[in-house]
Structure 1
Amino acid sequence: MTSRPTEAQHLRDLALLRRVRDRMDREYAQPLDVEALARGVNMSAGHLSRRFRLAYGESPYGYLMTRRIERAMALLRRGDLSVTEVCFEVGCASLGTFSTRFTELVGMPPSTYRRQAASDASGVPPCVAKQVTRPIRNREARGPVPPLA
């Protein structure tokens, strides 16, 4: 039988999860894994993964990859880097994994996105293009996530 966390523990966990999410937002291009993220907040990798999914609707890895894809989209819109260069610039070690995840989130392969973005974004300010083309995370697509219990 497991005990339910107290309200104070719940708030401490949320603060730690925000630290993890903020670190991924800042260091998305660095080699990050769940074990390293968990060590940074003195949690086990399993506990971090479960609590992160409850709080944000996706796994830490899913969140990190979405962040990387968002940055990749901006770099591809600029058009001065190849798809392979963008892949490594955003912290992905595998072009295949990058292309697969990009296609899942954006709906087209990165090379197609790059060609299309070059023609579609002419004359559109980068801040508007970023907002309009932002990939939809799993949580946003499914609706609100139930509160942590």
Structure 2
Amino acid sequence: MHTVALATAGELLHFEFGVAYEIFGNPPPGEPWYDVLLCGPESIQVGPFTVKPDHGLDRLVDADTVIVPACADVDVPPPTELVDAVRAAYEAGARVASLCTGAFVLGAAGLLDGRRATTHWGHAKELSARFPLADVDPDVLYTDNGNVLTAAGKAAAVDLCLHLVHLDHGAAVANAVARRLVVPPHRDGGQAQFVATPVPASGDHMLSQLLGWAQERLDQPLTVTDLARHANTSPRHLTRLFRSVTGQTPLQWLLTQRVRRAQELLESTDQSIHSVATNTGMGTATTLRRQFKRVVGVPPDTYRRSFQTPASA
């Protein structure tokens, strides 16, 4: 069983801590899941709650994944024993992820040197100044360097945790967890932290309607002109709106949705690669393989072998 250790030391923010515990500590029905450990030197106050660790920080070195929740005060140096334990876990082969200001612990451990990292945009400048060897990007939701990951503030912690579930269990399971949490499927890390025109929950927003309309037609050869015509606006204005809301151009967003749909079909059906390409609007198996590998990192055949469910197989 994959072990996820939450580092419970210092002063923590309860939202990010709660997000990690909720996602990794509650398995979907019938799914093999994570073994979650609370690791810290003593009981601590996390917001209004008292958290009593069941293991010491030395247990981090045995974990497969270490989650460092958000620090309550970045002006207070993180406990030395926490920094040492996180570094030791990384050196032992653990995947280490920080949520929001937990990035300051990773920086103190030297894990951000030469890597892309992020944190809440309000603390990004300080993170960059304190750890000048890190490539701090204040404009993304999360970064993934393989075995070192960082998330921006609050809701981005949900995105990074779902991203980890996606990596370990596939898109269908990550989407099931998102549905349980009543949040959208995990957003790509490259999306903007701050959106000037967020999509309201109601369905009467122009872009919200358009996104739903387009997702129902991913098998069709949609263009920016098609989207703009349906939204009754100009392609130029639509592109500006897409960038402000999603952090992507319309075509980038379409490609992301097509790849996500392809992941679901590869996991849940036995359709041929050619059929998946057709049903996701990729056109040909060659195009699907090229775009899928560029976005996901592996060819669709390899992805299917890793994540196809027994029932669909």
Evaluate the alpha carbon distance shift between residue 109 and residue 33 of structure 1 in structure 2; reply closer, same or farther with a 3 A threshold: same
Q: Does 1:116 align with 2:306?
A: yes
Q: Does 1:102 align with 2:102?
A: no
Equivalences for 1:84-95 in 2 at 5 Å? 84-95=274-285
Pairwise CA distance, 1:79: 4.6
Structure scoring higher RCO (CA < 8 A, sep ≥ 6) equals 1
Partner residue, 2:245: 55
How many residues matched? 111
Q: Does 1:27 align with 2:220?
A: no
Give TM-score, length-normalised by structure 2.
0.32
Pairwise CA distance, 1:78: 3.0
| Structure 1 CA distance for aligned equivalents of residues 233 and 285 of structure 2 | 31
Question: What secondary structure does 2:205 align onto?
Answer: helix
Pairwise CA distance, 1:35: 0.2
Question: What secondary structure does 2:289 align onto?
Answer: helix
Contact 1:29 1:90 in 2 (8 A): yes
Contact 1:28 1:68 in 2 (8 A): yes
| Structure 2 CA distance for aligned equivalents of residues 81 and 92 of structure 1 | 14
| Structure 1 CA distance for aligned equivalents of residues 249 and 211 of structure 2 | 11
Contact 2:265 2:271 in 1 (8 A): yes
State the 4+ residue runs in structure 1 displaced beyond 4 angstroms.
none
Partner residue, 2:126: none
Partner residue, 2:229: 39
Give TM-score, length-normalised by structure 1.
0.64
| Structure 1 CA distance for aligned equivalents of residues 289 and 210 of structure 2 | 25
Contact 2:282 2:288 in 1 (8 A): yes
Contact 1:92 1:98 in 2 (8 A): yes
| Structure 1 CA distance for aligned equivalents of residues 285 and 250 of structure 2 | 20
| Structure 1 CA distance for aligned equivalents of residues 305 and 265 of structure 2 | 12
Partner residue, 2:36: none
Evaluate the alpha carbon distance shift between residue 22 and residue 79 of structure 1 in structure 2; reply closer, same or farther with a 3 A threshold: closer
| Structure 2 CA distance for aligned equivalents of residues 107 and 45 of structure 1 | 31
Contact 2:218 2:279 in 1 (8 A): no
Pairwise CA distance, 1:95: 3.0
Instruction: Tell me whether 105-114 or 70-79 shows the greater mean CA deviation.
Output: 70-79
The answer to which structure has the higher strand fraction is 2
Contact 1:79 1:114 in 2 (8 A): no
| Structure 2 CA distance for aligned equivalents of residues 96 and 58 of structure 1 | 24
Question: What secondary structure does 2:229 align onto?
Answer: helix
The CA deviation string for residues 58-111 of structure 1, in whole angstroms up to 9 with x for no partner, is: 111111121111121121123521111110111222433322221122220111
| Structure 1 CA distance for aligned equivalents of residues 240 and 285 of structure 2 | 28
Gaps of 5+ in 1: 1-9, 127-149
| Structure 2 CA distance for aligned equivalents of residues 102 and 74 of structure 1 | 12
Partner residue, 2:205: 15
Partner residue, 1:71: 261
Question: What secondary structure does 1:101 align onto?
Answer: helix
The answer to which structure has the higher helix fraction is 1
